[in-house]
Amino acid sequence: MDFDRVAPATKNTVEVISRPSLTYWQDAWIKLRKNKVASFALCLLVFYVFMALFGPMMGKFDFKSIDGDAIDAIPSMSHYFGTDTLGRDLWARVWVGARVSLSIGIMSAILNAIIGVFIGGVAGYFGGKTDMLIMRFIDVMNGIPNLIVAILVMVVLGEGLTPLVIALIVTGWLGSARLVRGQILQLKNQEYILAARKLGAGTWRIIFRHLIPNTSGIILTNVTMTVPYAIFQEAFLSFIGLGVQPPNASWGLLAKYGSQTFRFAPWQLFIPAFFICTTMLSLYVLGDGLRDALDPKLRNK
């Protein structure tokens, strides 16, 4: 039998690295940037966050002060978004409202995810009785209408931002806990977990170093998708008079007052409604984009 002599590797014959090695997040970021619509949504959201922080300072008026000469004024060079029925500047109120609406949305979504990851992770990893107990608890909690729980919590705790966030996370974590548990169940019997265990990694190391990072894409997508839900719930609570209280503002509250006056002052409804609408839309689009970008199975397509 003949053997071909293998030439020693030279610079020219070494396998060429066809592309730079990228981490999971770098890869996802590149893919997200290629998705034009999702990138636009991300830019718009960043812009809204920026304006929520600095917008009120760019106008000429304070969000609380009443301008008696300009009641129900249409948008103009002094009041960029017009004024409301009491003569308060809507530009300032819209961006102050953005602070409230966006922070409620983001805070409750993140807290839901943290609680959900912890409880779902424990249920999925330990399995058996622990899993059974936690899942039955979640089943029972899930049957309770969450807006009704939110209403009661608001009534008991009083008004303000913190009670609102608490009201939204009392039942909000259930969905993310289920999601994480499902993921962990799928992942925990994979070979690399077995390898980690054979190398002597402890339970918590496996959960925090291997399982949770591998579910992080799905969790992030889920967070993006729950922010709009929280903003909606806040709008609902404001509508029935339990959300943020005037003179403070949120987008939901502005839309509520706007809808009562829009027959003669349509901008009072259309401006907050436009911001609610575009924020929701951007979050959904970004969520879809993230789901595609973070799915490792789609990596080379």
Partner 1 sequence: MWKYVLRRFIISVLTLLVLVTAVFFLVRAMPGDPFMSEKLTPEIRQNMLVYYGFDKPLYVQYFQYIKNLMHGDLGVSMFYNGIPITKLIGDSFPYSADLGIRSLILATLLGIILGIVSALNRGHWLDYVCVFIAILGVSLPDFVTGYLLQYFFGIKMRLFPIAMWTSGMHKILPVIALSFYSTAQLTRIMRASMLEVVGEDYIKVAKAKGLTTPQIVWRHQIRNAILPIVTLLGPLTAAILTGTFVIESIYAIPGMGKYYVLGIQNLDYSQILGLTVFYGAFLVAANFAVDIIYGLVDPRIRLDGGK
CA dihedral of 155, 157, 158, 159, whole degrees rounded to 10: -110
Name residues whose C-beta falls within 8 Å of residue 22's C-beta, 6 or more positions apart in sequence. Answer: 30
Name residues whose C-beta falls within 8 Å of residue 214's C-beta, 6 or more positions apart in sequence. Answer: 183, 187
Q: How far is the CB of 300 from partner 1 (least distance, A)?
A: 18
Site for partner 1 in 258-277 (CB under 8 A): 259-260, 262-263, 269, 273, 276-277
User: Among residues 207 and 293, whose Cβ is nearest to partner 1?
Assistant: 293
* From candidates 193, 255, 265, 271, binder to partner 1 by CB under 8 A: 255
* DSSP assignment string, the chain: ---PPPPPP-TTTSPPP-S----HHHHHHHHHHH-HHHHHHHHHHHHHHHHHHHHHHHSSS-SS-B-TT-TTPPS-SSSTT-B-TT-BBHHHHHHHHHHHHHHHHHHHHHHHHHHHHHHHHHHHHH-HHHHHHHHHHHHHHHTS-HHHHHHHHHHHH-SSHHHHHHHHHHTTHHHHHHHHHHHHHHHTTSHHHHHHHHTT--HHHIIIIIIHHHHHHHHHHHHHHHHHHHHHHHHHHHHTT-SSPTTS--HHHHHHHHHHHTTT-THHHHHHHHHHHHHHHHHHHHHHHHHHHH-GGGTT-
Site for partner 1 in 190-229 (CB under 8 A): 228
User: Among residues 32 and 151, whose Cβ is nearest to partner 1?
Assistant: 151
Q: How far is the CB of 31 from partner 1 (least distance, A)?
A: 20
Does residue 298 touch partner 1 according to CB under 8 A? no
Site for partner 1 in 158-187 (CB under 8 A): 158
Does residue 86 touch partner 1 according to CB under 8 A? no
Backbone angles phi, psi at 157, to 5 degrees: -85, -15
Piece of the chain touching partner 1 by CB under 8 A; list 59-67, 182-190, 212-220, 234-242: 234-242
Site for partner 1 in 134-163 (CB under 8 A): 136, 139-149, 151-153, 155-156, 158
User: Among residues 161 and 280, whose Cβ is nearest to partner 1?
Assistant: 280
Piece of the chain touching partner 1 by CB under 8 A; list 19-27, 68-76, 214-222, 252-260: 252-260
By rule CB under 8 A, what count of residues binds partner 1? 42
Site for partner 1 in 107-136 (CB under 8 A): 136
Q: How far is the CB of 151 from partner 1 (least distance, A)?
A: 7
User: Among residues 211 and 242, whose Cβ is nearest to partner 1?
Assistant: 242
Does residue 46 touch partner 1 according to CB under 8 A? no
* From candidates 74, 132, 281, 298, binder to partner 1 by CB under 8 A: 281
* Interface contacts to partner 1, rule CB under 8 A: 136, 139-149, 151-153, 155-156, 158, 228, 232, 235-236, 239-242, 252, 255-256, 259-260, 262-263, 269, 273, 276-281, 284
